[in-house]
Structure 1
Amino acid sequence: MPFPIQLNMHDDCLVANIYVPDTNATNLPVMVYVHGGAYVMGSGNFGYYNSLVKTQQVIVVTFNYRLGVHGFLCLGTQDVPGNAGMKDQVALLRWVNRNIASFGGNPNDVTIAGCSAGGGSVDLLTLSPMTVGLFSKVITESGSSVGYYTGAQMNPIENAKTYARILNFTNVDDIDALEEFYKTAPNALLDFSMEAQLGNAVILFTPCVERDTGTDEERFLSESPFSILSKGQYPKLPLLYGYADMEGLLQVNGFDKFHTIGDMAENFSNYLPLDLQFESEEQKEEVAKNVREFYFRDGEMNQESILEFVDYYTDILFAYPMLRGLKLRRNSNNDTVFLYEYSFVDENTPFVPNTNVRGADHCAQAIAVMDGDTTAATTEEYVQIRAMMREMWLNFIITGNPVPENSYLPEWPSVNLGWSPHMALSNNSAVNETLIVEERALFWEDIYEKHYHQPAAPSFRSEIMWRSTLLCLCLCGAAVWAESDERESKLVNTAQGAVRGYKDPEHGIFAFQSIPYASAPTGPNRFKADIPMPGLMPFTTNTQENCLIANVYIPDTEEKNLPVVVYVHGGGFQMGWGNMLVPKKLISEHNIITVTFNYRVGIHGFLCLGTEDAPGNAGMKDQVALLRWVKKNIANFGGNPDDVTIAGYSAGSASVDLLMVSKSAEGLFNKVIPESGVSTSVFTIQSDPLENARWFAKANNFTDVDDIYVLEQFYKTASFEILTKDPFFDRPDSTFEEVAKKVKEFYFGDKPVDEDNVLAYVDYFTDVIFAYSTQRSIKLMVENGHDQIYLYEYSFVDENTPVVPHTDIKGANHCAQSIAVAGEIFLQADSMTLTEEFNKLSTKIRQLWANFIKTSKPVPSGSELPAWPAVRGAWTPHIALVKLTVKRSMDPKIITINPLLSWKMWCELVLLVAVAVSRGAGLDVLEPRLVHIEQGPVRGFQDPSTGIFIFS
């Protein structure tokens, strides 16, 4: 069903955008444009074709498809067969076929077009049995199905292994373990490094030849594009086909980044096209010598030979693969192909670095046809060639011929077997017989005739399944007061039976402690989800496996429907218990019911083997069970089950952030207070759970860790004492050296990491463990339309705050704000006297927290506290919890380090809201149009500047 339009980044990014002219005409031809971006980036609205739509002769459709690992991981297994991104493209074309008539389009007159990876995509779409009948014309711009850059992966399994190693996964030779790694790794990890996915003229994840997995699922590509083209087993459709003369400029920006020039000079054979195969290293070096001499003659390879580099990459990445594919098509009687070579330049075209030469860059011809920047200076020459090309492209979309009969445009015949004739789209456009790249293309013809190696489907040997995450220990503690029948008490009935709470005379609140809310499975089932409690049972205070108890604290009042806050304790997911920190003053001062509780921690709570008996997240499932218990029972304590806030500190903070995104917790709470920990923190989600499980087992003298079932049996039968040993142990350092160097320079400069630089050490761990991940999470939420986030930065210190070792500086320690809310110094000597300054700030912070718990705003209207607006973007504004002042920006140090730590999701710029929104206009002033499609009605809005209706 249609869903609300939002500008956000997420997994579910398969959206289409339809641009419809302001006309009542029907059966209009349709162009579906596939965006480029090397299969790792981009979105449907990479470019716009309003200039074509404004002619009122064509409808344009753009769309998103899955990218990078998500779209093009190809393992040849049933769950990861490959080509998910290409199948998204097919799904879009099928959707267009079924629905475009509702927008006024002709489902039988669809042209597909694309540049770069989009060009490679449309070239591949012509060869797939899944697309037969979905389009009738093709515009391929700077991309080829038979090139290694925009075509099929040469070795998809090896590519998957390479990237997994980059992400610190080591068990890459076990295909099942590798598959499980990719299936369960978080998006933030899989999208970690675009440069790793898109390196020096190598894209790891592109389309692939699919292996027969023995299922009924359609295969997008069952043999190599070269084989299909050679056999002629594909529909012969009209093609508009070409490239720019200096496509290789695409690589110039990466030369310094990847140290390309120097390395090429030393190891040129490593830079030969990946789809070449040699019988020996000697043969490879001989071919490399010939190629180097052809392009660079006897000259040096340096910045002065940049034009030769550009020619080389133009040829191997784009021009020759396209010409080779074209020859294969013509040989199989695909005789309606219109070839062009774009070489237009003007005074706005930048010079090639270190030269006085200008050239047409990668996809320059596609940019000429697209809408341009109306504010940029444009020469009359460029205006004229753009107008001519747009008419040619439009003619082709409508008629299948860029220059139909009786057109005033220069004649453009279809190409013959020898790449001739072609349209030279230049400063003096005309049909030409000889291509700029022709001599170089003929040179490559001979090499490919001898050494070409076709891409093949993934092959592997089946092994035992594995997978990965983080290991933990289970320590369930219950801190229970000594009960006395002489104390004032209350009796409350719950679903399991009656429970008695006793009054704390110091704070005037009633405490109902050690209420079992679920039963933790023990023995062989100890890692499964909790079991609902059938009734109350005796509970002891010692550490044990079955530790799932709740503590309910209520104010001394007969009021009903009180707001409820559920506190999740911290302890690194390794230790701790519900009553580690109880905000008793919050309860007594503000009439708020508070629930604390235990959950399984460490191994008992977070062993994750991915098996039926140890699936993982037992501790998080305990938290959900507690929230469900609260929902069913809290009204009996005077609480409102529909007004529950969840809060937590450290690992508890990360927990509540995770609960916020878990479907299993939906409807169980309506406000959230994370304190020093988020779901994107480095300590929150295990990156390799299976390897963690192996490490702990090895540390306890268990050696048969490579058999998943034997490993599982070890954990299911190990004694409680073994499983509650010290969980902290050293692991090999897996930090990327290059990133580590940059980070060290950022924090420490040229100074050593020693006692004299402890403040830099503190800053580093503050940022990478807590501050950066919090800001990253906030950014993602704000970008997803979350407009009720109240950000704070706590930096209060007083005479009780210890100085940082080896300095005279004081700072707010981990979870210091949580201690301020409680109004107590946690785990400090009873004799410590709290300062008046701390007590005053603590009182104000509790007021802020109480306001939020009751009203969803820390500073509601009419409050005497400083105004605290919600975050609007760029982590601003926020409140500085030191003297309660509002600041407009966070510490710029955090912002500076962001480029080192990739936070981009795989699906950037997923949805683009209507054009008028981005220009500041409200949707209500735009003319709407309602169209009914198979999922339901969708509404498009008219862009006043173009008259085009946009369905986004």
Structure 2
Amino acid sequence: MKTPHPGHRHTPWTLTLLTFLALVGSVAHGSSTATASATANADRIVVTTDGGLVRGSLDGETRSFQGIPYAAPPVGELRWRAPAPAEPWRGVRDATAPSPACAQNEGELPGGSASEDCLYLNVTTPAATSGEPRPVILWLHGGGFFMGAGHNYDPSRLATRGNAVVVTINYRLGMFGFLGLPGLADSGTFGLADQQAAMAWVQRNAAAFGGDPDNVTLAGQSAGAVSTCAQLASPGAAGLFDRAIMQSGSCDLAWLANTVYRGQPADDILLPVQTVQERGRALATDLGCTSDDPDAVIECLRALPVETLKPVMDGFIQPAYGTELLPAQPSEAFSTGAFNRVPVLSGHTRDESTLEVVGYEGGAAPMSEQTYQEVMTETFGDDRAAVEEVYPRSAYESGAAAWAAIATDSKWASGQYETSLALSRFVPVHQYEFSDPAPPFSSPAPMTMGAYHTSDLWSFFALSGAEPTFTAEQQRLSDQMIDYWAAFATTGNPDVAGGPAWPRFDGAANTPYVQSLAPGTIGAVDVATEHHLAFWRQHESASA
């Protein structure tokens, strides 16, 4: 599908949570890391890794180790190459503060980042010792493949209540992670290759932190969930993880025209490598790197400083398939069973796209009524009446709310469901919908947010220094969700003794089971009916 010229910066495929929080003034950015004296409990905070000794910190119920290199800095001649091994070090490396985030524009990080030396990870464990190795959860952050950092996610609650070793990582973003060019090996997959390097590091080092390298769950949200899905289809990830969790993202993620901003073309989250390389060639020309020799073009781009490339970062936020790392479009691999067969937990939030629509007009202004009317015609044309029959404007508090429902169903719910249908033919799948109507940081906002994109993250993490304020019922829901996720990471089944049962998703059933997760209410929900998925499947078939 046609996409904007990569040399022109465009609004990405999703607005991130921390960007939204900055818009509505709900939270200040800052580090959530607390450190203890380096001399306290030295036997627990100094760990031997395959690269050398690291000294972390002890804070109450958790041990934390930050800024551990899992690959060499991808700078100079290593820019746009597969990750190389990290150099070992002598002595004891300080691991009490996070590393720089990967290069990105301002958004989740105040001022952004200009660092390419960013391939580091963080390990959080319960402070108490355990007689048995703990399950490992390797978390891939979201941020639309253009922003974010592992240290923005404080997993202390997940580690302690879930009795797990939690690893959060950085991986290359934007054009540093997903650029494609003719003649450039690994085009469009550098960020995914970084993730595999981190997964291999976990295999070598999990035991040193009390984790079980034979029980690793790869998990992520949004871009992190898409990444997890891609790793299911990647031969290079075989044997590196044992379960997969995909929160609000799948390999079938696609969007209609105008979904996130006016004039946005319809597109898919994963693209053929030829498309990515064509974009890269056009960008190289814009940046003055022209030659009949592909190697000369690549070397010209490698010589450009980060600040020259940051303005066009967001032109490359869709990983490529048809590559060595991702040979086939994942949905094709899933349909034939040619993927890494592990148990899967997958789901989305009930009101995903309110987070996108709330800033549709720029700043903190949601989609106006006039814009809604115009966008409906621009997007659907002669099909507008059919769409309005399913989504009558009178059923919603505003045009913005109506558009959010359309975008939620067509973009998020549909793709998540289709991926689960395909996977469930070969592996156990458990699916959920997070349905808290008033999650943390949903107010104040210029429209009703509901269970917005990323709102489920508060159940597991403190984000960018912000701790959620829960009601008693929300706290019980958070505890139950951590119990579900931890049980899944331990056994491949989220069912917990004494908790509400969670049957498997059965794609052959008339109504495949999906677990609704809401304060005070956990039980079945008919996601396909609730989100009009039959309509969108028919619409997609007619548009193909």
Q: Does 1:594 align with 2:166?
A: yes
Q: 1:722 aligns with which of 305, 308, 317?
A: 308
Check the 8 A contact 1:694/1:705 in 2, yes or no. no
Q: Which residue of 2 aligns with 1:555?
A: 126
Give the superposition deviation at 1:615: 2.8
Give the superposition deviation at 1:565: 0.7
Secondary structure at the residue paired with 2:460? helix
Structure 2 CA distance for partners of 1:660 and 1:800, relative to 1, 3 Å: closer
Structure 2 CA distance for partners of 1:170 and 1:526, relative to 1, 3 Å: closer
Q: Which residue of 2 aligns with 1:668?
A: 240
Question: Structure 1: how far apart are the matches of 2:137 and 2:542?
Answer: 31
Structure 2 CA distance for partners of 1:729 and 1:744, relative to 1, 3 Å: farther
Question: Structure 1: how far apart are the matches of 2:297 and 2:46?
Answer: 47
Alpha-carbon displacement from aligned partner over 1:821-842 (angstroms, at most 9, x marks no partner):
23x4x35866x73322221211
Question: Structure 2: how far apart are the matches of 1:478 and 1:892?
Answer: 37
User: For residues 403-414 of structure 1, what are the structure 2 equivalents within 5 Å?
Assistant: none
Segments of structure 2 that go 5 or more residues without pairing to the other structure are 6-10, 14-28, 101-112, 255-267, 318-374
Secondary structure at the residue paired with 2:219? strand
Check the 8 A contact 1:511/1:552 in 2, yes or no. yes
Check the 8 A contact 1:530/1:625 in 2, yes or no. yes
Structure 2 CA distance for partners of 1:904 and 1:666, relative to 1, 3 Å: farther
Q: Which residue of 1 aligns with 2:426?
A: 785
Q: Does 1:684 align with 2:269?
A: yes
Give the superposition deviation at 1:741: 2.6
Secondary structure at the residue paired with 1:679? coil
Question: Structure 2: how far apart are the matches of 1:761 and 1:868?
Answer: 31
Structure 2 CA distance for partners of 1:702 and 1:514, relative to 1, 3 Å: same
User: For residues 45-444 of structure 1, what are the structure 2 equivalents within 5 Å?
Assistant: 167-168=1-2
Question: Structure 2: how far apart are the matches of 1:760 and 1:705?
Answer: 49
Q: 1:497 aligns with which of 47, 52, 63?
A: 52
Q: Which residue of 2 aligns with 1:913?
A: none
Q: 1:886 aligns with which of 496, 500, 524?
A: 524
Q: Does 1:531 align with 2:102?
A: no
Give the superposition deviation at 1:541: 4.0
User: For residues 742-891 of structure 1, what are the structure 2 equivalents within 5 Å?
Assistant: 744-748=384-388, 756-782=398-424, 784-786=425-427, 788-798=428-438, 800=440, 802=442, 807=447, 809-822=448-461, 824=462, 826-827=463-464, 833-860=469-496, 863-873=497-507, 876-882=512-518, 883-890=521-528, 891=530
Check the 8 A contact 1:570/1:653 in 2, yes or no. yes
Question: Structure 2: how far apart are the matches of 1:568 and 1:659?
Answer: 11
Secondary structure at the residue paired with 1:519? coil
Secondary structure at the residue paired with 1:669? coil
Give the superposition deviation at 1:744: 4.3
Q: Does 1:693 align with 2:329?
A: no
Structure 2 CA distance for partners of 1:600 and 1:563, relative to 1, 3 Å: same
Q: Which residue of 2 aligns with 1:922?
A: none
Q: Which residue of 2 aligns with 1:521?
A: 74
Letter in 1 for 2:51: Q
Q: 1:712 aligns with which of 273, 298, 302?
A: 298
Q: Does 1:485 align with 2:38?
A: yes
Check the 8 A contact 2:174/2:315 in 1, yes or no. no
Give the superposition deviation at 1:856: 1.1
Q: Does 1:897 align with 2:536?
A: yes
Larger radius of gyration: 1
Question: Structure 2: how far apart are the matches of 1:899 and 1:705?
Answer: 46
Structure 2 CA distance for partners of 1:555 and 1:844, relative to 1, 3 Å: same
TM-score using structure 2 length: 0.69
Structure 2 CA distance for partners of 1:806 and 1:639, relative to 1, 3 Å: closer
Q: Does 1:634 align with 2:273?
A: no
Question: Structure 2: how far apart are the matches of 1:903 and 1:586?
Answer: 44
**How many aligned positions are there?**
422
Greater length-normalized contact order (CA 8 Å, ≥ 6 residues apart): 2
TM-score using structure 1 length: 0.41
Structure 2 CA distance for partners of 1:743 and 1:485, relative to 1, 3 Å: farther
Question: Structure 1: how far apart are the matches of 2:192 and 2:383?
Answer: 33
Question: Structure 2: how far apart are the matches of 1:662 and 1:819?
Answer: 30
Q: Which residue of 1 aligns with 2:104?
A: none
Question: Structure 2: how far apart are the matches of 1:730 and 1:847?
Answer: 37
Structure 2 CA distance for partners of 1:719 and 1:679, relative to 1, 3 Å: same
Q: Which residue of 1 aligns with 2:137?
A: 565
Check the 8 A contact 1:775/1:875 in 2, yes or no. no
Letter in 2 for 1:503: L
Question: Structure 2: how far apart are the matches of 1:726 and 1:487?
Answer: 46
User: For residues 724-743 of structure 1, what are the structure 2 equivalents within 5 Å?
Assistant: 724-725=310-311, 727-728=313-314, 740-741=380-381
Alpha-carbon displacement from aligned partner over 1:243-289 (angstroms, at most 9, x marks no partner):
xxxxxxxxxxxxxxxxxxxxxxxxxxxxxxxxxxxxxxxxxxxxxxx
Alpha-carbon displacement from aligned partner over 1:662-681 (angstroms, at most 9, x marks no partner):
11011111111110111222
Secondary structure at the residue paired with 1:589? helix
Check the 8 A contact 1:795/1:880 in 2, yes or no. yes
Alpha-carbon displacement from aligned partner over 1:499-554 (angstroms, at most 9, x marks no partner):
1221122xx11001111111133213300101112303778844421211111111
Check the 8 A contact 1:645/1:672 in 2, yes or no. yes
Letter in 1 for 2:495: V
Question: Structure 1: how far apart are the matches of 2:30 and 2:212?
Answer: 26
Check the 8 A contact 1:586/1:821 in 2, yes or no. yes
Give the superposition deviation at 1:697: 4.7
Secondary structure at the residue paired with 1:528? coil
Give the superposition deviation at 1:817: 1.6
Letter in 1 for 2:459: A
Letter in 1 for 2:423: M
Give the superposition deviation at 1:847: 1.0
Segments of structure 1 that go 5 or more residues without pairing to the other structure are 1-166, 172-469, 906-952
Question: Structure 1: how far apart are the matches of 2:542 and 2:227?
Answer: 20
| Identity across the alignment (%) | 27
Structure 2 CA distance for partners of 1:610 and 1:488, relative to 1, 3 Å: farther
Give the superposition deviation at 1:696: 4.6
Question: Structure 2: how far apart are the matches of 1:742 and 1:502?
Answer: 61
Structure 2 CA distance for partners of 1:903 and 1:674, relative to 1, 3 Å: farther
Check the 8 A contact 1:517/1:629 in 2, yes or no. yes
Question: Structure 2: how far apart are the matches of 1:842 and 1:527?
Answer: 40
Give the superposition deviation at 1:582: 2.6
Q: Which residue of 1 aligns with 2:354?
A: none
Question: Structure 1: how far apart are the matches of 2:397 and 2:289?
Answer: 39
